[in-house]
Structure 1
């Protein structure tokens, strides 16, 4: 998996690129939290649930079904998010779904249960350039540093480019007479 902070970078970059009129700050913040939410499944380790189980790490919480549940919750909470129900739902679905899609691009673990509950198969993308992050204290090691370099290259820099391009386009459009 990419590090928990890296998952939040995707909605932040897209939110910056789109601007506050389309994606209000509260919705961006909710999207950042939603993008990190699937990794709350690490509590399964403490509960004795095996990694490969449906409710283990990268299981049900890494599915499109889970993204849909969070999207429905977002639609219900659209007023505090300062947007319309369908925008909140679409945004939060995309933010949560970005998490297993990034995890599927990593070079380790068991894959993601993207199609749970219809299938418990764990999937990876055919191309897996992102170094998998160690869980727990192992992050603070040489391997953790290598993971951060991988995430910088494959996620942070492309996201920064998206944010900068969107910001530049919005500024160019707003400066036209």
Structure 2
């Protein structure tokens, strides 16, 4: 998986690109939604196998989960902006699986669970897989992850946000 930092930064960028006036609630929900799919790591503690549909990178990383989660949040918290909330939260949530499919480790992402339990990776996999757990993250491995995320996530997001900012200034 990518780290919580990488997932959160992508969600922030998505929210700002789709809705440049994103309020704090939408930004908070987008970042939380991008991190949420890794709640499935509790499957390890529950004895659920990695390859099980509810194992790590399973259902919570699927397109169906992203749809259901974004609709739930949009219709309960979106007020008059349900469509914007749904789009931003769907993209933020699904971005988690997309980033994980670009990592160097794991057993793939179950994008189509429950229709298909297969796990997938992209052919382009430059992001170093993040360790599970805080202790392991503060190690040489964690530094390697941060450096790869800086190159393949943070810098591209920063460029997108800069272009967005500059274009807003030019158009105002």
Q: Which bracket does the TM-score occupy, shorter chain normalised?
A: over 0.9
Counterpart in the other structure of 1:71: 70
Contact 1:14 1:163 in 2 (8 A): no
**TM-score, structure 2 as length reference:** 0.93
Aligned CA-pair RMSD: 1.3
Q: Distance in 2 between matches of 1:95 and 1:163?
A: 15
Paired residues for 1:62-141 under 5 Å: 62-79=61-78, 83-136=80-133, 137-141=135-139
- 1:83 Cα offset (Å): 4.7
Q: Distance in 2 between matches of 1:54 and 1:14?
A: 27
Contact 1:16 1:167 in 2 (8 A): no
- 1:9 Cα offset (Å): 0.4
- Structure 1 window deviating more from structure 2 (3-12 vs 54-63): it is 3-12
Q: Find out whether 1:168 has 2:166 as its counterpart.
A: yes
* Structure 2: gaps of 5 or more residues: none
Counterpart in the other structure of 1:12: 12
* Structure 1: gaps of 5 or more residues: none
Q: Distance in 2 between matches of 1:77 and 1:12?
A: 21
